[in-house]
């Protein structure tokens, strides 16, 4: 056979490969199994339907697809190919985009703090600051989780999305400052949650590219998973006839053109619908499906499936307060890399670089008003007008004013809780949520103690090169609360107490959680109490935020519960086949 034959074969193969790649790229640059919901069937059937392709939903779906057919319904689009999401240095670009198609949906809690929730495949891991760290063994014990499976699940996640950061001068200064003032020991680089100071992991790789929970879908069985994008679930359907209690059996969702679709569970007593729509989305969707406080549902004309007063209760957001420290020398761009884990319930972290302070017009810092962070006016005064004004004055200030970084303090827990209510019956609209920051005096005390650690770090020898020598703490505090972004004299009281500083400058670190607590709305297996074939698996089930930052544990939980569900079914089907055999034998005799 001549060479031409091989050349021809090669050409044909190359043609096939490139044309199939072309097909795939019409849907998603990364996965063939994602498609626009507009092209979905009007009615379809699966073993598992997962609502929300977020931080918990993606690892959960990938795992269940090993053995079963899985449908993921995600209201947002794909993160791939969008530099606002994938690029570390554009952190905040998505958060500052308030259009209806933005991957970030802004919301303002009733407390007045501006916040954001994900609307994209990969969920919060596509918007977040990337810091990756496990929770403590004590948290694992209290959650009643199996420690070995927890560790295996963390490893499964870390293999794909976690990296060691490149720690440079400014972050090293923060770390050494923490060590100098006694946040000890030095735990080096570790994912583990231990008292002292450490460098944690990050989901940004060494090129500054983000690896979100959507990357965990590479573990999925591509022949048994379907991911629909721009698919907003409106409600879960329940069967009530011929069953002892309501049984979830399908969902109604709409595509981007508003067309209605239905997906049902295939027959099989073990098949389930799993809600992973996040701390705002999950309680909201349960309510829209008739599971919630009866009076509240009635007020919105929602047919009651189950009167469940706990749905939407126990909403919490960890308060974050920060001090901005202008630097006489340039500061590298960094999101969170170092954390001080104190033994009094306060975590110290930092983000540095001009653009993260909000100084660049193209970039959007972690504490910039462009993304809704407005520490310069008390929460209730953070109106759109105040925000626009802050952005305007920020843009008029000399850029060198933003050289430096923020050292922040986050309160553990928190103990203070609030609640969530529907505003309307439209799932696209944010529900009303109240977090009651600092309602519990312990939260306030931890904030004050945390801030005094921050101040000590700023005054440490190790950090001294990143601080102007003639700028005492009182001026820095004032700077954070009053300037440079908002030059109005808000805090003329020069002896502004730390308590007042905590309340006036409170921001979110976006670790909000709750609304479907374990023991209240779901049982320890995350099954919704009082109905069948329905679970909630995501951050809405947490009483307290896990670790110093939650994403590692949310992803872990998705994997963990996926494995548990697969194992349970394996055991159940083994028992069934054993039963079958015994009954056959019994029939013989």
Ligand X SMILES: *[C@@H]1O[C@H](CO)[C@@H](O)[C@H](O)[C@H]1NC(C)=O
- Tokens 């008739």 sit at which residue? 290
93 binds, among ligand FAD, ligand X, none (CB under 5 to 8 A by kind): ligand X
169 binds, among ligand FAD, ligand X, none (CB under 5 to 8 A by kind): none
Nearer to ligand FAD, 129 or 448 (CB): 129
550 binds, among ligand FAD, ligand X, none (CB under 5 to 8 A by kind): ligand FAD
Question: Binding of ligand FAD at residue 60 (CB under 6 A)?
Answer: no
CB of 129 to ligand FAD, least distance (A): 3
CB of 118 to ligand FAD, least distance (A): 4
Query: Would you tell me which residues interact with ligand X (CB under 6 A)?
Result: 26-27, 36, 38, 82-84, 87, 89-90, 93, 96-97, 134, 137, 147-148, 151, 192, 230, 256, 474-475, 478, 482-483, 489, 491-495, 497, 500
Closest CA to 179 of 438, 399, 462: 462
Question: 558: which 2 tokens?
Answer: 């998705």
Return the residues of window 548-577 that contact ligand FAD according to CB under 6 A.
549-551, 554
Separation of alpha carbons 347 and 432, rounded Å: 28
- Tokens 């640059």 sit at which residue? 29
Instruction: DSSP letter for 123, please.
Output: G
The pair phi, psi for residue 290, each rounded to 5°, is 90, 10
CB of 106 to ligand X, least distance (A): 11
CB of 353 to ligand X, least distance (A): 11
3-state secondary structure of 318: coil
∠ CA 455-457-458, nearest 5°, is 65
∠ CA 507-371-123, nearest 5°, is 90
For CA atoms 282, 288, 293, 299, the dihedral sign is positive
Q: Is residue 377 within 8 Å of 507, Cβ to Cβ?
A: no
Closest CA to 317 of 429, 407, 416: 416
Among positions 59, 123, 314, 319, the unique one binding ligand FAD when judged by CB under 6 A: 123
151 binds, among ligand X, ligand FAD, none (CB under 5 to 8 A by kind): ligand X
Q: Which residue of the set 211, 230, 511, 517 is catalytic?
A: 511
Q: Where are the beta strands (DSSP E) in 57-109?
A: 70-73, 104-108
CB of 54 to ligand FAD, least distance (A): 2
Separation of alpha carbons 227 and 219, rounded Å: 14
The residues, any chain, with a CB within 8 Å of residue 510's CB and separated by 6 or more, are 115, 116, 124, 127, 128
Question: Binding of ligand FAD at residue 290 (CB under 6 A)?
Answer: no
Active site residue 193: no
- Tokens 């309307």 sit at which residue? 424
82 binds, among ligand FAD, ligand X, none (CB under 5 to 8 A by kind): ligand X
Find out whether 510 is annotated in a ligand binding site: yes
Binding positions for FAD are 120, 233, 510-511, 539, 550-551
Q: Which residues are annotated as a binding site?
A: 120, 233, 510-511, 539, 550-551
Active site residues: 511
Residues that bind ligand FAD (CB under 6 A): 51-57, 73-76, 95, 116-120, 123-125, 127-131, 232-233, 276-279, 281, 285, 336, 427, 510-511, 538-539, 549-551, 554
């Amino acid at each position: 056979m001549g060479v031409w034959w091989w050349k021809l074969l090669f050409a044909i193969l190359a043609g096939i490969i490139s044309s199939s790649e072309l097909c795939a790229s019409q849907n998603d640059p990364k996965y063939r199994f994602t498609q626009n919901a507009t092209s979905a069937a009007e009615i379809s059937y699966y073993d598992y339907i997962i609502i929300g392709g977020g931080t918990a939903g993606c690892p959960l779906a990938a795992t269940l697809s090993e053995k079963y057919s899985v449908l993921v319904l995600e209201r947002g689009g794909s993160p791939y190919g969008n530099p606002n999401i994938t690029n570390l240095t554009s952190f905040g670009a998505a958060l500052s985009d308030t259009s209806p198609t933005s991957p970030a949906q802004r919301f303002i809690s009733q407390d007045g703090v501006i916040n954001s929730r994900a609307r994209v495949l990969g969920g919060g891991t596509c918007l977040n600051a990337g810091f990756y760290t496990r929770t403590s063994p004590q948290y694992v014990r209290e959650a009643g989780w199996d420690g070995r499976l927890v560790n295996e699940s963390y490893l499964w996640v870390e293999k794909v999305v976690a990296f060691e950061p490149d720690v440079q001068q400014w972050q090293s200064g923060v770390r050494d400052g923490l060590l100098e003032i006694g946040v000890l020991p030095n735990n080096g680089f570790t994912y583990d949650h231990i008292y002292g100071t450490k460098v944690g992991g990050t989901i940004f790789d060494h090129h500054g590219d983000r690896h979100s929970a959507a990357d965990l879908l590479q573990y999925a069985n591509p022949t048994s998973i379907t991911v629909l994008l721009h698919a907003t679930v409106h409600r879960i359907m329940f069967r009530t006839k011929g069953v002892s209690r309501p049984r979830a059996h399908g969902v109604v969702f709409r595509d981007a053109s508003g067309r209605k679709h239905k997906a049902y569970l295939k027959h099989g007593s073990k098949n389930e619908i799993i809600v992973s729509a996040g701390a705002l989305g999950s309680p909201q969707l349960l309510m829209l499906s008739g599971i919630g406080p009866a009076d509240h549902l009635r007020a919105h004309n929602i047919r009651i499936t189950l009167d469940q007063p706990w749905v939407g209760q126990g909403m919490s957001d960890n308060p974050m307060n920060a001090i901005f420290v202008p630097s006489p020398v340039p500061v590298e761009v960094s999101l969170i890399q170092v954390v001080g884990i104190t033994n009094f319930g306060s975590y110290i972290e930092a983000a540095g670089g001009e653009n993260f302070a909000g100084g660049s017009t193209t970039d959007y810092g972690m504490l910039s008003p462009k993304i809704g962070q407005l520490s310069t006016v008390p929460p209730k005064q953070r109106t759109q007008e105040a925000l626009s004004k802050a952005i305007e004055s920020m843009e008029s200030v000399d850029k060198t004013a933003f050289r430096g970084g923020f050292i922040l303090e986050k309160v553990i827990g928190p103990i203070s809780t609030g609640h969530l209510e529907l505003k309307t019956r439209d799932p696209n609209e944010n529900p009303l949520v109240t977090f009651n920051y600092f309602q519990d005096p312990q939260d306030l005390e931890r904030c004050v103690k945390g801030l005094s650690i921050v101040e000590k770090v700023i005054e440490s020898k190790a950090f001294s090169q990143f601080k102007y020598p003639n700028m005492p703490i009182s001026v820095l505090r004032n700077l954070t609360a009053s300037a440079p972004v908002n030059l109005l004299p808000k805090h003329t009281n020069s002896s502004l107490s730390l308590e007042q500083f905590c309340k006036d400058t409170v921001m979110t670190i976006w670790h909000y959680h709750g609304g479907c607590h374990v023991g209240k709305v779901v049982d320890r297996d995350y099954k919704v109490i009082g109905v069948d074939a329905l679970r909630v698996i995501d951050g809405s089930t947490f009483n307290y935020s896990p670790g110093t930052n939650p994403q590692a544990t949310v992803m872990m939980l998705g994997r963990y519960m996926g494995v548990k569900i697969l194992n349970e079914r394996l055991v159940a089907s083994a028992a069934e086949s054993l039963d079958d055999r015994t009954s056959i034998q019994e029939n013989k005799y």
